[in-house]
Copies of this chain bind each other. A is one copy, B any other.
Amino acid sequence: MPVKKKPPRRSSCPINASLEILGDRWSLLIIRDLMLRSYQTYKELLSSDEGIATNILAERLKRLDAAGIISTSRDAGDRRKVVYRLTAKGIDLAPIVVELILWGAQHEPAGVPPAAIRRMRAGRKQFLSEIRRNWEEGGTAVFIANPRKA
């Protein structure tokens, strides 16, 4: 599916700008997987617990690439394999992702123990540093597991 030329923004509000890119039910889940599960391939992204459809995943990856949030490259070892990675602009989404975790964990039934939420809230700054360091190192850290794989 070709990515269409962007229509003009609905407003000049920065929240609106963010939502025009990220405001759907899937994009931030893909970003979660790249950021907190160190997923790199289409197959890995497709494996996530929410069961994203393959056409939606493909379309969202194109949009995230067009928005400069992810980069797409070929695996150094296996040139047939496409590798997705967050850009600097993409890793800057970490505070949004962390706040979405904290709010969802606190207010919705999500199976996160209250002590774990308190720890994450208290250690918010350190958690953000670790996420960034893992990204800088081209890392493999798994900050939150995919229950399907557990």
Binding site for B on A (CB under 8 A): 10-26, 28-29, 32, 48-51, 68, 89, 92-93, 95-97, 99-112, 144, 147
Contact = CB atoms under 8 A, between A and B. Distances in A.
B50 A101 contact: no
Across the A-B interface, the 3 shortest Cβ-Cβ residue pairs: A14-B104, A18-B104, A17-B108
A100 B29 contact: no
Q: How many copies of the shown chain assemble into the complex? A: 2
Residue of A20, A25, A89, A109 most packed against chain B (CB within 10 A): A25
A129 to B, nearest CB: 16
A147 B50 CA distance: 38
A23 B21 contact: no
Contacts of A147: 11-12
A69 to B, nearest CB: 9
A35 B110 CA distance: 25
A85 B83 CA distance: 45
Given A10-B51, A12-B110, A18 B100 contact: yes
B107 A89 contact: yes
B102 A10 contact: no
Contacts of A15: 28-29, 32, 97, 100-101, 104
Contacts of A110: 12-14, 16-17
B19 A108 contact: no
Nearest to A90: B107
Contacts of A22: 100
